[in-house]
Structures are given as structure tokens and as C-alpha cells.
Chains A and B, each alone.
Chain A
Amino acid sequence: MKGRVWTAWAATGALVLACSAAQAATVQAKTAAEFLKAIGPDTTIELTAEAYNLSEVPEMEHDYVNWVAHSPGGGMNIVINDVRGLKIIGKGRVAPRITVEASDVFVLSFVNCVGVLMENLVMGHDTEEACKDGVLSIYGSTDVSVSRCDLFGSGSEGVRLENSMGFVMDHSIIRECTVSIMSIIGAKNAVFADCKFFNNKANSGLVFRQSEDIRFTDCIVMNNTMDSPIFDLEGTVGVKLLRGHVTGNIATQLTNSNWGISFEGTERTRAIVGEGEVKV
């Protein structure tokens, strides 16, 4: 049995390596148009400029990028679809900014993607209006990673993760969002490590629906305002916080679930300030 597993693993590994060796490409993008044109499978896109305003890019024919309006007359969401092995890396000491001008679109959306990495980026809306959509939307995707990124509002939410598996966010920030911090819907096996969620003034906090095995390690949830529990669970099990802090939030309660969420070594004595106190 052990031998069979090893052989299968080795064969898969060899296939992956062969594919990677055959197709991997690195492209440098200095403009938003170059960035969007470069999106494709097994591609590493290095962003070398300071700013990328995606709203300046006209719609184009593209196998892996679509412009989709959620409502008639609404803003056009830039949707990256059916891509495997895409890396978007901000180069340099200062993270490049990826922005959109319309308030009713996500900055970037991913549909049916596998193995995507975003690293060292600042992403948000460049508008004075209150936003109706968020920063990152990930739907039907596997193994999408966000590393050392700053997701800022007024995006409605930092991350919307739907029907996806294996999402990882590390050393990243979600701040100043206006509807919720994140929505995790129908997702499995997500990890948030060394992340900070702060200064979001929203209706909701961290929202989980029909999801399982969502882990937070060494994360800080602080100074957020909401009209709901900080950890709002429905039909969700296996939300685990290891270490980290929950502090200084204005919320109705810490969580509305007694059994779907656990805290281990998480400092939460000041989880809620003001009239509220920690209510589990």
C-alpha cells in the first residue's frame, strides 16, 4: 500500500514538474493593461510599477479575463476565470496598488481557478463613494493564496470566499471595509495566519455560512464596529482561532455559535468595548 501511494505521488509530482517546466512563464507588467493581458495559466506576473488602475483598461478579448456586470448598467467586474498556476507578485520594497474606480465592483474576482498566489499588493477602491462590492471575490476555486497584502475599504468586504477550498491568507490586512470584514460561504479548509482585521465599520464582522474548517492563527481582530456578532456563524463548523487577539470591537456579541467555533490561547478579555461585554 505504501509503495503504491509513493508511486502515485511520484508520478503526480513528475507530471506537475513536467507541466511547470514546460509552461511556466514570468512576465513583468508596468501598466494595468499589461497586467490584465498577461493573465493566464502557469504565469508569474511581476508588477513593477507603483499603481495599477484597472478601471482605465478597456474591455478586451481574453481567454481568462471577462468583464461582467452584476446588474444592468452597473460597473464591470474584472473576473479572472479558469486559470491554474497564476502568480501576481508585487515587486519592490513598496507594494504596488491595484485599484478600481467603480464602487459596485470587486477589485479582482476569481472564478474556477486553481493555484493562484497574490503577494505584496495593496488592493482597494479608488473612490469617495461608499462601496457596494468588496476587494477580492473568490468563487469555485481551489488553493488561492494571499500573502503580505493590504485589502482596504471602502470596499464592502475584504474577502468574499464562496464554494472554494484551500484558501490561505497570511501576513495580510483587511481594513476600513463598510459591510463586513469577510464572507466565507460554502468554503472548506481556509487558513488565515498572522493577519490583522481592523478599523472596519460595517454591518457584520466575520461571516461564515455553510462552511467548515476555517482556521485563524496569530490574527488580530481589533477596533471594528458592527451590528452583529464578531464571528457570525450559520451552518458552519470547525472555525478555530489559535492565539492572537480579539479586542476593542463594538459588536452585539463575540459569537452566536457555541459549538461551531473554538478559541485556544486567544486573548479576548476586551473583545467588545462600550456597553457590550464578552458574550459567548
Chain B
Amino acid sequence: MLASLILSAALAAAPGRSVQAETAEELLKAIAPGVTIELTGSDYNLYEVQEFESAYVKWVQETPDDTAQITIRGVYGLTIMTKGDIPSRLLASPRDVFVLAFEDCTKVELNGLVLGHNPEGGECFDGVIYAKNCRDLGIYDSDLFGCGTTGLNLDNVNGLIFDHSTIRNCNSSIMNVYDSKNLKFSDSTFFQNGADSGFDFNGCTGVDFEDCIVHDNNAGGSSLFNVYRTEDVHFLRGNISGNSGAGLVSLPNVMVFEGVDISKALVGSGD
């Protein structure tokens, strides 16, 4: 425990190192604690990179038939950002993996990126970003697109800022969040997602939406906000309109809507 604290303090104090990456291989090889990776290229096809030895990047294969999932593990203080005006695209060609997965990471920031499966469209079996046992994640000015099943899949995450970003065209739901807390979504737009559900929160506390737009999503037979064992969910200002689903919120008295008109949140049968 003490060693861990000392390591954390040392990392926090250490000056960050910046690395430029023009290819997917350079990007993956640069991943390490305390590094800011500036992407200078256009497209990064992550799954075209040959597996290599790394302390922080693992190829995790759950069954022989699955594609190995690229997983970033045990990193503290990593930033991946676009260098120029036009967002760099992080892409996954296999449909049965997340584009990026994080486990046991702290203070990871993605900034100005487009992330999704390539080619766009079709049918996927996993989502865009997966994070498990992580703290203090930041996703800024980024575009998460489907066919990924979900934009975000979070499990035991404490601290997320999702700001000025989009989740769109995911083919199952917008996000699945389990046992997580202190999540903030601001100035972000969620559109044209789903067929199975919308926002799924299970075992979560402290979820804030501010100035977000939720428009034209299909929650199928679920409520748009599917909450279970969850408390303290706020939606402040913004707009919720033109979605379909079985209802707006699955349970009463869990969500607070303030300054947002929910009269047109659902169209059709769930109106």
C-alpha cells in the first residue's frame, strides 16, 4: 500500500513526456504512464498492429474463436490526443472487440479523437470504449461511433468526464455502466443509437448530465434511461427529444430533470 502511494506520488510529480505517433504501431508502443501521445496521422488501424511485448498493452483473448482484445492496463497519467485540427481516427476492423479497452488505469485522457469500427456501419459485437476498475477518465471533444454495440461500457469506474463529445450510431445501446460513480457528461450529444436500450446504469451513484442532447435514439423495449440499483442521477438543461422506447426512466424517483423539456423525449408508443 505504502509503495503504491509512493509510486503514485512520484508519478504525479514527474513531468509528463510527450511523444508523437504517426502510425498505430507507434501509438501502441508509446503507451506508458505519464505520457502524452500526440497523434499526427489520420487513421490508426489498431488491429493491424502485430502483437508485441509491452508492460502496459496486452492482447487478451478470451476464447480461441475470439479476436484478441487490445487492452491498456495499469497506466497512470496517459493522454492520447489529436495534434491538429482534424481529429485522428482510432479504428478497429474486427467487429468482436472494443476499439479501446482500459483496465486498472488512472488519469487517462482521450482528447479530440474519432473512435469506431472500420468500415463504418454494419453489425458489431462489441463497443467503442471499455473501462474496468479505472479512476479519473476524461474523454474530451471526441466522437464515438457505431456499429459498436455501445459507445461506453464501464465497470467499476470512479470518475469520468465526458465533455463536448458524441456517441452515435451504436447498434445496441448508448452506454452500459455498472457499479460506477462520479460520472459527468457535459455539452455532449447522443444520437441515432440503439435498438435494445439507451442509457443503462446498474449500481451507480452520482451521474450528472449537463447541457447534453439526447435525440433520435431507439431504446427498443427498454426505457431510454434504464436505471437499476442506481441513485443520484441528474439531467440539467439540454434537450431530450425524438427518441423511442418503452418509457423515459425505468424507475420513478431516481432521476431528476431540471431545465429540460421532456414532453417530446419520446415519440410513438412510448410518448
Q: How far is the CB of A204 from chain B (nearest CB, A)?
A: 20
Contact partner, B168, options A94, A175, A245, Cβ 8 Å = A245
Question: Which single member of A93, A194, A242, A245 contacts B85 (CB below 8 Å)?
Answer: A242
Per-residue contact bits, chain B 250-271, to A (CB 8 Å; 1 contact, 0 not): 0000000011000000000000
**Interface range on chain B: under 10, 10 to 19, 20 to 34, or 35 or more?**
20 to 34
B120 touches A247 (CB 8 A): no
CA distance A190 to B187 in the complex (A): 22
Query: Are A247 and B192 in contact (CB-based, < 8 A)?
Result: yes
Pick from B141, B191, B236, B241: contact of A175, CB under 8 Å:
B241
Q: CB-CB contacts of B76-91 with A at 8 A, as 1s and 0s?
A: 0000000001110000
**Given A243-B87, A269-B120, A198-B213 contact (CB < 8 Å):** yes
Contact between A247 and B86 (Cβ–Cβ < 8 Å)?
A: no
- How distant is the Cα of A227 from the Cα of B242 in the complex, in angstroms? 21
Contact in complex: B216, A223 (CB < 8 Å):
yes
- The distance in angstroms between the C-alpha atoms of A148 and B164, with both chains bound, is 13
Contact A173 B85 (CB under 8 A): no
B237 and A95: CB pair below 8 A?
A: yes
Write out the residue numbers on chain A whose beta carbons fall within 8 Å of the beta carbon of B191: 220, 222-223, 247-248
Tell whether A199 pairs with B259 under 8 Å between CB atoms, given A248-B192, A265-B85. no
A242 CA / B87 CA spacing, docked (Å)? 10
A126 on interface, CB distance cutoff 8 Å: no
A129 interface contact, C-beta 8 A: no
- B95 at the A/B interface (Cβ < 8 Å)? no
| Contact indicator per residue, chain A 224-265, by CB within 8 Å of chain B (1) or not (0) | 000000000000000000110101100000000000000011
Determine whether B123 belongs to the interface, using a CB cutoff of 8 Å to chain A: no
Q: Is B239's CB under 8 angstroms from A223's CB?
A: no
A residues 196-234 near B (Cβ < 8 Å) are: 196, 198-199, 218, 220, 222-223
If A93-B258, A265-B86 touch, whether A148 touches B211 (CB-CB below 8 Å) is yes
Assess the B259–A94 pair: CB atoms within 8 A.
yes
Q: List chain A residues, Cβ under 8 A from B169.
A: 270
Assess whether A132 is interfacial by the CB under 8 Å rule.
no
Q: In whole Å, how far is B165's beta carbon from the nearest beta carbon of chain A? A: 10
User: B187 near A173 (CB under 8 angstroms)?
Assistant: no
Tell me whether A173 and B213 are in contact in the complex, defined as CB-CB below 8 angstroms, given that A94-B258, A94-B259, A218-B164 are known contacts. Answer: yes
The CA of A94 and the CA of B211, in the complex, are separated in Å by 10
Compute how far the CA of A196 lies from the CA of B85 in the bound complex, rounded to whole angstroms.
20
Q: How many angstroms between the C-alpha atoms of A247 and B168 in the bound complex?
A: 10
A218 touches B141 (CB 8 A): yes
**Inter-subunit contact A94/B237 (CB<8 Å):** yes
Nearest CB in chain A: distance from B11 CB, A: 33
B244 partner residues in chain A, CB cutoff 8 A? none
**Partner among B143, B215, B237, B242 whose Cβ is within 8 Å of the Cβ of A267:** B143
**Cβ contact of B86, chosen from A175, A199, A243, cutoff 8 A:** A243
Q: Name the interface residues of A91-107: CB closer than 8 Å to any CB of B.
A: 93-95
- Rounded to whole Å, the gap between the CB of A189 and the closest CB of chain B is 19
Known interface pairs A94-B258, A171-B211; A223-B242 also in contact (CB < 8 Å): yes
Contacts of B187 in A (CB 8 A): 171, 194
Contact A264 B192, beta carbon cutoff 8 Å = no
Assess the B85–A199 pair: CB atoms within 8 A. no
Judge whether A199 and B211 touch: CB under 8 Å. Answer: no
CB distance from B90 to the nearest CB of A (A): 15
Q: Could you tell me if B189 and A220 are in contact, using CB atoms closer than 8 angstroms?
A: yes
Shortest B107–chain A CB gap in Å is: 25
Given A94-B237, A175-B239, do A264 and B86 touch, yes or no (CB 8 Å)? yes
Residues A196 and B213 in contact, CB atoms below 8 Å apart: yes
| CB-CB nearest in chain A for B215 | A198
Chain A neighbourhood of B85, CB < 8 A: 242-243, 264-265
Chain B, 46-63, contact with A by CB distance < 8 Å: what is the 0/1 string? 000000000000000000
> Is the CB–CB distance between A199 and B242 below 8 Å?
yes
- Separation of A245 and B239 alpha carbons in the complex (Å): 17
Confirm or deny: B166 has a beta carbon within 8 angstroms of a beta carbon on chain A.
yes
Complex contact B215–A199 (CB within 8 A): yes
Chain B's closest residue to A247 (CB) is B192
By beta carbon, the residue of chain A nearest B213 is A196
For B145, list chain A residues within 8 Å (CB).
Answer: 267
Q: Provide the residues of chain B in CB contact with A42, threshold 8 Å.
A: none
Mask: chain B, 153-191; 1 = CB below 8 Å from A; 0 = not: 000000000001010110000000000000000010101
Interface, chain B (partner A; CB < 8 A): 85-87, 114, 120, 141, 143, 145, 164, 166, 168-169, 187, 189, 191-192, 211, 213, 215-216, 236-237, 239, 241-242, 258-259
12 A/B residue pairs, CB under 8 Å, sorted by A: A171-B187, A196-B213, A196-B239, A198-B213, A198-B242, A220-B166, A220-B191, A223-B215, A245-B143, A245-B166, A248-B191, A265-B87
The 3 A-B residue pairs whose C-beta atoms are closest, nearest first, are: A94-B259, A265-B86, A223-B216
Supply 6 further A-B pairs (C-beta < 8 A) apart from A222-B192, A270-B192. Answer: A93-B237, A95-B259, A196-B213, A218-B164, A247-B168, A267-B145
